[in-house]
Amino acid sequence: MLIESVELRELRLPLVSPFTTSFSTQTERNTLVLRVAGSVPTPNGRVDVVGWGECVALGEPLYSPEYIDGAKRMIQLYLLPMLARVQAEGREVTAETVGALLEKVVGHRMAKAAIEMAVLDAELRARGESFARYFGATRTRVPAGVSVGIQPSVDALLGAVGGYLDEGYVRIKLKIQPGWDLAPVAAVRQQFGDEVLLQVDANAAYTLADAQHLRRLDDYGLLLIEQPLAEDDLVQHAKLATAMSTPICLDESIESAKDAADAITLGAASVINIKPGRVGGYLEAKRIHDLSRAHGVAVWCGGMLETGLGRAANAALAALDGFSLPGDISASDRFYREDITEPFVLRDGHIDVPQGPGLGVEPIPENLARVTHDTQEVWPA
Ligand SMILES: CSCC[C@@H](NC(=O)CCC(=O)O)C(=O)O
Ligand SMILES: [Mg+2]
């Protein structure tokens, strides 16, 4: 692709209800979308293309070191100028080379992932290929799990979980933290039975000193416990794994295929939550899928409250064979009254995988404008 312009839009989407985790309460999703325009070569000459990318960093650096303001500056001051220099040398940028072209910049995987996603979308739209087909997806719809935040009371939690089950969600994930773990899990089991697919996510809220306490979760038949310890605690997760029978799943700890290999080798995880933005892009996400599959490690697609753009790409990725557990790929209305794309809706507990070229979705201009906080043209002149 020869990039000609890049529009960076900071969005603010109000959440339908507060979303509380062990590290924050969010009432709006502050996010970043990129619109990359340019041309790609085809057998019949160059065609003009547009591609969309989404940066999954949160508004504040509380889930990971990246945050929206930082990602904006990273993309504008470092990443795009590096790609412009590549083009000035007469070379094209492709989705498969973006990661290598940007690797001199240490980290900033979510910012890099947004650019790679937009270039991949543009290339695939030009050749009429969907993300699903490009990744080798084998399904046209994926089971929808839902992430339930920490609630003001157990009663409120039971109401929320009951509502999601009534909507048809096939898997419930409860956010937990010290002081809100055994009681909510026990209450959900008590109210909705042992058949419900149930898992928990601590967002790194515990330490190995909590091992005996966490081990009591083993009584509730959970699918997994996600990121119980700090993101840099691989060895400690491996130790925790020997102290409890509930499978350990890692999220924040896995930022690359290398991390996944280390976690598997150390026995720090027997399940991996793959989030394309966290690992630097969909191509690295696919590599982690392939690696995990080779080791018999189950993976599922995590969520970062994406708009319909990221949701479309995540649904395509989650349709790969190795994604054997329901992901955090809920309907748009789980978080948003209005999405920036046509909404993703739950159908028999599943989300349809877009089949159109590229992402298969694009922003609805009026919807995008309504939530745009600022727009900048950031391709170096
Ligand atoms: C603001 S919390 C975002 C990270 C969190 N994501 C979710 O809980 C799923 C959110 C979603 O369904 O997009 C996680 O740690 O897995
Ligand atoms: Mg998580």
Ligand 1 atom having least distance to the Cα of 149: 8
Ligand 1 atom having least distance to the Cα of 24: 1
Is 147 close to ligand 1, i.e. is its CB under 6 Å away? Answer: yes
Span from the CA of 89 to the centroid of ligand 1 (angstroms): 40
204 and 261: one domain?
A: yes
Tens of pLDDT, residue by residue over 99-145, are: 999 999 999 999 999 999 999 999 999 999 999 999 999 899 999 99
Closest residue to atom 10 of ligand 1, CA basis: 303
Is 304 close to ligand 1, i.e. is its CB under 6 Å away? Answer: yes
58 and 166: one domain?
A: no
pLDDT at residue 191, rounded to an integer: 98
User: Domain containing 225 — which CATH number?
Assistant: 3.20.20.120
Is 26 close to ligand 1, i.e. is its CB under 6 Å away? Answer: yes
Report which of residues 44 and 353 the model is more confident about. 353
327 and 206: one domain?
A: yes
24 is a domain residue: yes
User: Domain containing 91 — which CATH number?
Assistant: 3.30.390.10
167 and 306: one domain?
A: yes
Given the residues 72, 112, 173, 275, select the one marked as catalytic: 275
Tens of pLDDT, residue by residue over 249-264, are: 999 999 999 999 999 9
317 is a domain residue: yes
Euclidean distance between the first and the last CA atom of the chain, given in angstroms as a whole number: 17
Best residue among 21, 272, 314, 344 to mutate for probing ligand 1's pocket (most ligand atoms within 8 Å of CB) is: 21
150 and 222: one domain?
A: yes
Reported confidence tier of residue 32, pLDDT bands at 50, 70, 90: very high
pLDDT at residue 381, rounded to an integer: 85
Number of the ligand closest to the Cα of 315: 1
327 and 372: one domain?
A: no
Is 251 close to ligand 1, i.e. is its CB under 6 Å away? Answer: yes
294 is a domain residue: yes
181 and 86: one domain?
A: no
231 is a domain residue: yes
pLDDT at residue 16, rounded to an integer: 98
Mean pLDDT of the chain: 98
357 is a domain residue: no
Enclosing domain of residue 369:
2-128+363-377
pLDDT, average across residues 200-211 = 98
249 is a domain residue: yes
358 is a domain residue: no
111 and 181: one domain?
A: no
15 is a domain residue: yes
Active site residue 175: yes
- Number of structural domains (the chain) is 2
Ligand 1 atom having least distance to the Cα of 227: 15
117 and 143: one domain?
A: no
Active site residue 275: yes
15 and 158: one domain?
A: no
d(CA 2, CA 87): 7
100 and 226: one domain?
A: no
pTM of the full structure: 0.98
100 to 2, 24, 33, 125, 287: CA distances (angstroms): 17, 34, 22, 22, 15
83 and 217: one domain?
A: no
